[in-house]
Each structure stands twice: as structure tokens, then as C-alpha cells.
Amino acid sequence: MKHVYEDAPAGVGAVYAWSGNNEVGEGRMTITESRPSELIRIRLEFMKPFRATSTAEFTFQPAADQTAVTWSMTGTNNFVAKAIHLFMNMDRMIGGQFEKGLAQLKAISEAAARR
């Protein structure tokens, strides 16, 4: 898989793009809003295997000595995507990626807090 980072090095305007085989497809993520300790909003554009645009959000809520993180993704499905969703369980397909990503975020955050 090929990874490319473009534009701003961090924060609003930062871009991460990827392209690869049929399992990972091709797309790009652009940070459109960033409020430290509150929210990160990302425009998520899929080019392959099918075109779609979604919004991913990470929200952060203080909870005692921890932070509750919510990762969500919303978007509009065209006719083809709606047909695909009839046969594919999206939670099963990408739910594991959400869990893995949140676990990695937790590990990195906790390691940084220990330093």
C-alpha cells in the first residue's frame, strides 16, 4: 500500500492519502476541523473500489481522570452503495478497524501521559 501525506503537517488542512490493492482501495482523508481536547473532523473520500464521501469524527469528553473517545462516521449512500449494504454487514466489515484504531490511540495516549 502506498501512503502520502500532503499540505499541512498537522491540524486543519493536513491530508493523508492511500492507494493499494482491492482490500484497501484508494482514498484520502483531510482534517477539516480541529479543536484540541474536543473534536477532530475529517473529510473521508473513497475513490476505489467505489466512490463515496463521508465525515469521520473523533470527539473527546473528560471523564474523571480519563477521556472518553467517540469515533463515528457518517455519509450519504448512492444507489450502488445501498445495494451493497443489503449484502454486506458494514459493522462486521469495518468494526474491527474501529476497535483496533481506538486501542492504538489508547496505547499511544497512555504512553505519552507516562512520559
> 2-114 — its CATH code?
3.30.530
Band (6; pLDDT cuts 50, 70, 90): very high
11, 35 Cβ separation under 8 angstroms: no
Higher pLDDT, 81 or 10: 10
Show the DSSP H helices in 15-89 as ranges: 79-87
Band (30; pLDDT cuts 50, 70, 90): very high
The pLDDT of residue 19: 92
The pLDDT of residue 85: 61
